[in-house]
């Protein structure tokens, strides 16, 4: 993936605002979206035995007699795929998850904040100050 993808505020996309209101209320937290570099599909194109189909903004990968996964398509040049968290957990086979995780993308994050989520405790992150 080259460069930083364009992004939009959820509040500017009515359907996304509706979805994330349900996520935030606890009604459908499993519907929160995770994002992948579309190159994640290259492995399956090269391996054969998989079917990858699409419309303008949605797609599906399937292994006949095996598993399937529906995804959204976005980003400049269709460079980003997105799926709900529940699909990451329940639709992608365990043997394939490391491949998908290697293509997972995110907006810039605070590494120290994530460390604190994974291993709660005191982190030396500079002086406390107002903002």
* Per-residue pLDDT tens digits for 62-86: 999 999 999 999 988 999 999 999 9
Q: Where are the alpha helices (DSSP H) in the chain?
A: 14-25, 42-47, 85-90, 94-102, 111-118
What confidence score (pLDDT) does residue 4 get?
Answer: 52
- This prediction's pTM: 0.87
Residue 92, token pair as written in the block: 């992608």
Is-contact 75 15, C-beta < 8 A? no
Check whether 2 has a pLDDT greater than 80.
no
**Boundaries of every domain in the chain:** 10-106
């Amino acid at each position: 993936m080259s460069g930083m993808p364009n992004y939009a505020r959820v509040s500017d996309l009515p359907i996304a605002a509706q979805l994330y209101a349900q996520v935030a209320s606890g009604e459908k937290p499993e519907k929160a979206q995770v994002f992948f570099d579309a190159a994640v599909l290259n492995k399956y194109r090269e391996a054969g035995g998989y079917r990858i189909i699409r419309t303008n903004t949605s797609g599906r990968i399937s292994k006949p007699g095996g598993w399937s996964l529906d995804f959204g398509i976005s980003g400049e040049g269709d460079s980003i795929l997105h799926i709900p968290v529940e699909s990451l957990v329940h639709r992608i086979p365990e043997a394939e998850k490391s491949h998908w995780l290697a293509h997972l993308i995110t907006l810039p994050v605070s590494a120290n904040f994530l460390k604190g989520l994974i291993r709660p405790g005191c982190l030396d992150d500079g002086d406390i100050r107002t903002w």
